[in-house]
Amino acid sequence: MVALITALLSVATTSVPALFKLLSSDRSNLQASYGGDDTEAGLFLLVTNGGNGPGAIAKVEVIVNLGENKKIYEADVSPETVPTVLPKTSTRLRFMVDVGADKDIFQAFQGWEAAKCEIVASTLEFNRESQSYTFEMPCRSLRPLN
């Protein structure tokens, strides 16, 4: 029994410092802003990581508010984009949103000129609580919807 307790203490004393360092040191610190769009259904986010651990954009959604109806489209990471942001760097990330045949619905919606859209980006942070950023704009200004 004494040998078992000695072995347990030996393992605990060598692993606790490493575990403490893992949990308390590197942290990401992502800040995101909307970086425009393109004519090929792309949306851009400008992301800065001021921390000393990696972070990533985990999810991007485009929310189209059509009066009482709300349509939500998940944007996919563009094939040439790696959504991970290394420590102490800034990068421009491209996401693709496909609204398909809904473009016709948007254009036919009475009040399209005044319709509001939101782009919501959620982060995946290292040793830090995830953040969510919302960018509001007129839907008509988002080229992937027109």
Q: Give the CATH number, domain containing residue 134.
A: 2.60.40
Q: Note the pLDDT of residue 22.
A: 47
Mean pLDDT score across all residues of the chain: 86
- The H-or-E segment that residue 2 falls in is helix 2-24
Instruction: pLDDT band for 126, please (50, 70, 90 cuts).
Output: confident
> pLDDT, tens digit, for every residue of 44-102?
999 999 999 999 999 999 999 988 889 999 999 999 999 999 999 999 999 999 998 88
Which structure tokens are listed for 7? 């072995």
Q: Note the pLDDT of residue 85.
A: 97
- Within a domain: 13: no
**74: containing domain:** 27-145
- Within a domain: 1: no
**What span, in angstroms and rounded, lies between the C-alpha atoms of 118 and 64?**
7
**Count of structural domains, the chain:** 1
- Within a domain: 16: no
Q: Note the pLDDT of residue 7.
A: 52
- Within a domain: 4: no
- Within a domain: 11: no
- Within a domain: 110: yes
Which structure tokens are listed for 112? 């399209």
**What span, in angstroms and rounded, lies between the C-alpha atoms of 83 and 80?**
10
Q: What is the pTM for the complete model shown?
A: 0.79
- Within a domain: 62: yes
